[in-house]
Amino acid sequence: MTDILALETGNMIINSTLPLLVVVIPIIGSLIIGLVGLRSAQIRNILAPAIAGITLYLTVELFLTILKGYTIIYNLPPLGGVAMSFRIDLTGSVFALFTALIWFLATLVSIRYMFHEQNQTRYYVFLIMSLGGCLGVFLSGDFLTLFLFFELMTLAAYALVVHSQTGEALSAGANYLYLGLIGGLSLLTGIILLNTYTGSVAIAPMLQDIVPLGDLAAVIAVLMIIGFGVKAGMIPLHIWLPQAHPVAPSPASALLSGIMIKTGAYGIIRVSTMLYTPARGLAESDIWYYTENFGHTIIWIGIITMLLAALMAVLQNNAKTLLAYSSISQMGYILMGIGAAGYLGYDGPMGFGGFSYHIINHAFFKSGMFIFFGIIYARLHEKRLDHLGGLWRRFPFTFAAFAVCAAGITGIPGFNGYVSKTLLHHAIVYAYEHHYLWDLWLAEKLFMLTSGLTVCYIAKLFISIFFGPGSPGLDAKLETAYSGETWIERLVAISFIGIIGFLGLSSPLMLKSVIVPMASAFTYSEYYLNYLANTGVWYLQDLFGIVIALVLGGVFYIVFKRKDLFSFEPPSYLSVERSLYRPAIAFMNISFTRAGRFIDDNINLSYHIAPALLGRTSAGADHLDERIFSSFGIRIVRTTSGVWDILYYSWTSLIELIFSRIGQYLRIIFMMLFKFDYSARGDKRYQTVNISNIDFDLYILLIVIGSVLATSLLFLL
């Protein structure tokens, strides 16, 4: 496939249209699904997985080509001032691979899940369209292209979030959309600033060009981190996530939480560990300090995110909200890894290994959990944990796969989460040993605490769904609505078990042949890359670390259960949304609209008052003229001559007569000019003003105004 499309242009760089195909097939395909869906639901249901499957196949091709050591590039011709380009290294292709794979599985599961839902065609159209956007993010060669696909994904996924069209879904969707747009704009601002001051938006190490910008470098970094952080659910920008992920249909939640959230992480990786690192030629220089500070900040954002979100997850009763908070918490792990990689700078491969492995793992176990919970939800329509229970008999495959996912997320040895959490733990320990800062020591302790909380909330979720008694209504529902798992769902469950087991057990292979080649595209030292490739995870102190987490989790679980703390509701003023965002928005809104209305009113008033003021002035002048000046004049004239007296009286009376008449006429004309007493309906108004028809009047007025203007010009100049 690649041989046909490819054109080898130099050593190890291939110019190929394959990435374009990978992105365009889902986007065009989604439109075709929409058209087909108007005619036949059956063909549509086959077409949607087929398109996802074709995309998956192409992504595998892409991955295999790049695994041989090639880099694929492709430039589109410029379009209205915006040139798009694709450039895929191993990191991008790995992201694209798991994205396409999970999307394909989720599309398969959707067929049964959506069976009784409304607007199925719309769902499939936007599901496949957002696949195109998401893949585009991972395959982009520059930040501008990345941004465009990022926005396409945001807008397309909106239709998935609000799919149920309930009030709850719409308000969650509004939060999703507005925060997404704020993030997008902030990202765009960063990109534009970057383009203006460095002349390049390529995704490449550029720290040597950015550092001379001074403060602006920090501004760009903050803007871009905010832009991606919204999508990644970074605290305090996460508020949309626990609202939006649960309301979507479960397969879509799986993709939102498992994959689309990763576009944010991917962006932060590209910014913090790529854009803000020096190029390979300058690897020994001292500008690494910038990356280090940057990384240090991100470590703490990550720690806060993972801890707070894990605490919130423990308190949830809605299974999908719990999973959404868990996603935020896991993103905290990833952010911490990214931060550690940045903090360690040139020696950062351990951080890189940790977060990239964890991203892959989290994609699988989190989307798995949403998908498997979706299988249950499609039958029972119950999300509340205290109403669920004892389901393991009814859904054996789902139970097994869910158990494997849970084991993955808690980090039980042998499953995938264990490997990545161990690597992340190594990374934070190395970060501490880098400069022996006390706050990183604390960070390591909080990391362990969060691992304990993770065990606690996953235990709560798992036990309350599959064991213990369910609510009384549940059994009745099971009797009527129960239909067994379909073979597609079983197949999906088995493939998840296989993948998670593979990722957990074959870590040396993964590290050597995938993770380390991924990292080698970044600016890292050879020594530490080799070190990462040979890192093992089956050592006693690593196992001991996970035992601590499990024990902590167990203790938490028992304490929370005994003291009945699981149903504790935190007060609303602690929510960032209520205490910060809403008041800020209200304040801005009110201040601007008040200002606008104030201006409106005052200007209007002055327009209305001006004629009245003119009238007053002329009356005043009239008074002055008639009373004061005339009597003064009369006195003078009387004293001078009697003849003049008579002449004066006749003269003034004449003048008065003429002027009063002229004044009257002028006033009438003036009023007509400004009144424009015209009515298209042609009723009484015509009789009150003594002109018959305004059509002709307007023509006459035009001529009059024109001639008056023309003649007056002649006089004036």
Partner 1 sequence: MNLLFPQPIIAVIVPVIGAIIIRFLDEDNARGRHLTALVTIGIVFISVASMLPAVLAERLIDIRLVDFIDGLGIHFKIDALGMVFGLVSSSLWVFATVYSIGYMDHEHDQRNYFVFFVLSCSAAMGVAFAGNLFTLYIFYEYLAICTYPLVVHAGTRESVRAGIKYISYSLAGGALVLLSIFMIHDLVGTLVFTPGGILGAAGEEDMMLVRIIFILLMAGFGTKAAIMPLHSWLPGAMVAPTPVSALLHAVAIVKAGVFGISRVFFSLYGRDLLVDLNMINVLAVIICFTILVGSFMAIKQTVLKLRLAYSTIGQLGYITLGILLLSPAGVMGGLIHIINHAILKITLFFCAGMIITVTGKKNLDQLNGVGKQMPLTMLAFSIGALGLMGVMPIAGYISKYYILTGSLEAGMPVFAYVILGSTLLNAIYYLPIIVNAFFKEGEFEKKPGFEAPPTMLIPTLVLVVVSISAGLFANYTTIPFIETVLRTIF
Which residues of the chain form contacts with partner 1 (CB under 8 A)? 78-82, 148, 151, 155, 162, 165, 170, 173-174, 177-178, 181-182, 185, 188-189, 192-193, 196, 588-589, 592-593, 595-597, 599-600, 603-604, 607, 674-676, 678-682, 694-695, 698, 701-702, 705-706, 710, 713-714, 716-717
CB of 609: closest distance to partner 1 in angstroms?
Answer: 12
Largest CA distance in the chain: 133
Count CA within 13 A, CB hemisphere, residue 77.
0
- Based on CB atoms, which residue is closest to partner 1, 173 or 417? 173
List all residues 6 or more positions away from 202 whose beta carbon is below 8 Å from its beta carbon.
87, 141, 142, 143
Neighbours of 237 (CB within 10 A): 25
CB of residue 684 to partner 1, shortest distance in Å? 12
Q: Measured between alpha carbons, how far is 172 from 179 in angstroms, rounded to an integer?
A: 11
Residue with Cβ nearer partner 1 (185 or 463): 185
Single out the residue of 40, 76, 93, 95 nearest to residue 264, CA to CA: 95
For 624, phi then psi, to 5°, come to -55, -45
User: Within 10 A of 139 (CB to CB), how many other CB atoms are there?
Assistant: 27
SS3 388: coil
Q: Closer CB to partner 1, residue 634 or residue 689?
A: 689
Instruction: For residue 380, give the amino acid letter.
Output: L
On whether the CB atoms of residues 439 and 428 are closer than 8 A, the answer is no
Cβ closest to partner 1, residue 127 vs residue 694: 694
Measured from the CB atom, the residue of 24 and 491 that comes closer to partner 1 is: 24
Cβ 505 to partner 1, closest distance in Å? 45
Is 68 in a helix, a strand, or coil? coil
Is the Cβ of residue 467 or residue 699 nearer to partner 1 in the bound state? 699
In angstroms, give the least distance from the CB of 682 to partner 1.
Answer: 8
Residue placing its CB nearer to partner 1 in the complex, 173 or 332: 173
For residue 525, CA distances in Å to 270, 279, 346, 470 come to: 18, 12, 6, 55
Q: Which is nearer to partner 1, 654 or 700 (CB)?
A: 700
Query: What DSSP character marks residue 430?
Result: H
Least distance to partner 1, CB of residue 133, Å: 12
Nearer to partner 1 among residue 216 and residue 521 (C-beta): 216
CB of 76 closer than 8 Å to CB of 85:
yes
Q: Which is nearer to partner 1, 56 or 177 (CB)?
A: 177
Work out the end-to-end distance of the chain between its first and last CA atoms, rounded to an integer number of angstroms: 82
Cβ neighbours, 10 Å, residue 403? 16
Give the nearer residue to partner 1 in terms of CB position, either 665 or 715: 715
Rounded-to-integer distance, Cα 487 and Cα 205, Å: 48
Name the minimum Å distance from CB 586 to partner 1: 12
Shortest distance in whole angstroms from residue 681 CB to partner 1: 4
| d(C-alpha 50, C-alpha 679), whole Å | 65
- Helix residue spans in 274-381 (DSSP H): 288-314, 319-344, 349-380
CB of 359 to partner 1, least distance (A): 28
| Cβ atoms 302, 205 nearer than 8 A | no
Q: What is the 3-state secondary structure (H, E, C) of 70-89?
A: CEEEEECCCECCECCEEEEC
14 in helix, strand or coil?
Answer: strand
Minimal distance, residue 680 CB to partner 1, in Å: 5
| Shortest Å, Cβ 349 to partner 1 | 37
What φ, ψ does residue 163 adopt, rounded to 5°? -50, -40
CB closer to partner 1 out of 189 and 652: 189
Minimum CB separation from partner 1 for residue 32, in Å? 17
Q: Minimum Å distance from CB 56 to partner 1?
A: 27
Task: Give the integer Cα–Cα distance in Å for 292 and 144.
Answer: 26
SS3 label, residue 565: coil
